[in-house]
Structure formats: structure tokens, C-alpha cells
Amino acid sequence: MSGLKAIIAGGGFGGLTAAAALAQRGWRVTVYERQAEVRAAGSGIYIWENGLRILDAIGAKVVSNETFRGRAMEQRDGQNGVIDSGEFPPDLRLVTVPRKTLLEGLRDAALRTGVDIRTGAEVIDASAGGTLTFASGAVENADLVIGADGVWSKVREALGLEVFHEQTLEGALRAIIPGTQAELGPGGQDKYIENWNGERRFLITPLSASEIYLAFTCPKSDEAGKQSPLDKASWGATFPHFAHLIDRVEALLPWGTYSTISVKSWSAGRAAILGDAAHAQPPNLGQGGGMAMQNGLALAVAMEGVSDRRDIPDRLVAWEQRERDLVDHCQKWSRLYGEVSFLPDDVRKRAILGTMADPWIRTQILKAARSHPTGT
């Protein structure tokens, strides 16, 4: 048991995974979350095989008999014609849950291992020597500091690690509606359905027997498309086969773009960054949260056996060397996939068909999902 102390900025997927995994290895851990409670936005999230292995490793109870497990990802055009239907092999699980379910499962796993979670605590500064400074003026010291404070990370900024932060031209509106799979029409069962029409994309993701997560993606220039409340007439006209689902949208997360973050290094001294703070990526592969959890667990594994804080900087360097290639790969392929959004319909159709038929490309796209995360 190390007895060392870690302080973590951010109680999201990455921060809570790192917290639980460190506490399981004998660390004293405090998570500082800016919001008044550990809370996730009202949408769904895809958890691939790699993420499921991590949840098992840290004992987070997220998946139940009610959880939706899709057997294929189907691409369709604006006339509801199937472009491609990619079945998942049995050894590659993919489930979808409300974000709240995932976050609460991680929070409870962290609490069970003795992690102290402080809410309403906004971090404004950090140092490589092991401190976090708060908006209240308070300063905390620890052997290890972790910045898991998301895309706009104050810890990354304070450590001067950023190389670039790029935002996409497209963005998404998201909602969870009541609905059943029977409403997805013939051939729509047990699937995730991604519909394309022009520069608009509409993703249908069942979450359970009674809830469906909808994502509406369009470019910044599409004024009607990004409107909130949802312009149901406009989206219903683009995807008429699913107008009955679109009509049901009430609460909607505001339209937002996606970020790509690139950094010089994942650590400086005894301070590390992980998750979106270090490697945010567009959501096209459904792996941003997976990578955040993967690196949170891997960081804790990298700290195994450390009893002297002077060893921590080298351990952090070794952690990055071991994990970074996969994260960079995943980020690159997620960005590449996003490029098909801007292709004309017929070109996109050919690109999707060609891509999905190519075993090498499929391997690249699924590399993170098929990986065996460190610590699992």
C-alpha cells in the first residue's frame, strides 16, 4: 500500500476512474469537481469492449440486464435505404447507456474505495510540484496531481502543455426520448442506426427497452439545423422516416462542436493530465470516454509499488510511453471518419461502402475497442 496522496481536478469519467483505481492501490485520493454535484449531461454514451473491461476491473456497476447491446451499426441514406450494416463479432461488445448511469457507476466505485469527492470546488491553477489552487483561494498539496478537467482544462493550461486545440465545423444536438425498438421500423431492431442526408446526420441509439438517445449533427452554417429548441419540421423533413421520433424531442442539449486537443506531453513533474484534458477527440468512434477511463486506470497501474514521490515523474513518463500510441491512433481515425460528413451523398455512400469492406481500415477503426487496457 503506497499511502501516498493524489488530488484530482474533475469528477468526470477519467477523473473518477483514476480515483477509484488509485484508491484500490492504497492511495489517499480526493477528487475536486467544479459542479455542485457529480453530474453528466442528459445524453447517451457508447461503451465498447475496452471500456467494459475497465468497468469490470474497477468494480463499477454500470451494465445490467436492461442495458442495450447492439449487434450492428447500420448506415442509411435520406430515403432510409441501407448503405451498410456492419455486424459486430460476438467477442466485440458494445453497449449504450445514459451518461448519468456511467458516471454514477464510476462515482459509486470511487466512493466504495474511500475516495473523497468534493463538489463546488473549481480549480484555477496547478503546478508540476504537486499543487492545485482553487477559485476560493485555497491551495492543496499532494504527491500526485491529476488534471481530468475536460476540454477546457485549467491544469493543462497551467502546466503549459497544449500544442493545439482545434474545433470542428460540425457539431451536435442531443436528446433522450421515450421510445421502443419496435418504432425503428422493419429491420431496425438490435441496431444503432446512423442516417445521412446532405451535411446532416441523425444517429439513433437505443438505451433500454423504453429510452432512445438521438444525436443531430450538422455544420455550423446550418442555422435551422443547430437551433434549440429543435426545429422539428426541418429535421423531420430531412429524415421523414423517423419524424415520429423527432417530434418527441423535448429537453435538448445545446448545439456544440467537438474538440481535438494535442499536447506536448501528458505530464510535467508530479502533475499529469488525462482524458479530454490531454487528448479530446471528435466522437465519431465513440471512444473519447473510453480513452479517458483507459488512461485513468493505466495511470494507477503505472503508480503501483511507488513509495517515494521522487519516482513519480519517471513513472508518469513511462505511463505516457506505454499508452500514447493507441490514443493518438484513435484520435487520428476519429477525425478521419468525421471527414465523410462533408462529402456529397453519392461520394459518401461509396466511401462508406469501400471503407467498411476493407479489413485493414476496419482494424484501424476498431483498434481501441479491441485493445486490452492496461490493468484489465
The DSSP H or E segment spanning 264 is none
The correct pick among 2, 4, 10, 25 for binding ligand FAD (CB under 6 A) is: 10
Could you give the string, one character per residue 133-162, with x where binding to ligand FAD holds by CB under 6 A and - elsewhere? ---------------xxx---x--------
Q: How far is CA 332 from the centre of its chain?
A: 15
Nearer to ligand FAD, 328 or 358 (CB): 328
Q: According to the binding rule CB under 6 A, does residue 13 interact with ligand FAD?
A: yes
Instruction: Candidates 8, 23, 45, 95: give the one binding ligand FAD (CB under 6 A).
Output: 45
Q: Is 98 in the site for ligand FAD (CB under 6 A)?
A: no
Q: Give 124 or 243: the residue with its C-beta nearer to ligand FAD.
A: 124
Q: Which of 6, 9, 60, 297 binds ligand FAD (CB under 6 A)?
A: 9
167 near ligand FAD, judged by CB under 6 A: no
- Give residues 210-269 in contact with ligand FAD (rule: CB under 6 A): 258
CA distance 259 to 237: 29
Rounded distance between C-alpha atoms, residue 109 and residue 62, angstroms: 10
Burial 277-291 (b: 16+ CB within 10 A, else e): bbbbbbbbbbbbbbb
Kindly tell me which of 201 and 349 has the beta carbon lying closer to ligand FAD.
201
* H, E, C per residue of 287-307: CHHHHHHHHHHHHHHHCCCCC
C-alpha grid cell, residue 212: 432512445
**Residues 283, 362 contacting (CB under 8 angstroms):** no
Asked if 272 touches ligand FAD (CB under 6 A), the answer is no
According to CB under 6 A, which residues from 70 to 89 bind ligand FAD? none
Question: Closest CB to ligand FAD among 2 and 334?
Answer: 334
**Closer to ligand FAD by Cβ: residue 242 or 258:** 258
Torsions phi, psi of 21, nearest 5? -70, -35
Residues 313-342 that bind ligand FAD (CB under 6 A): none
- Binding stretches for ligand FAD (CB under 6 A): 9-15, 32-35, 45-46, 122-123, 148-150, 154, 172, 174, 258, 275-277, 283, 286-290, 292
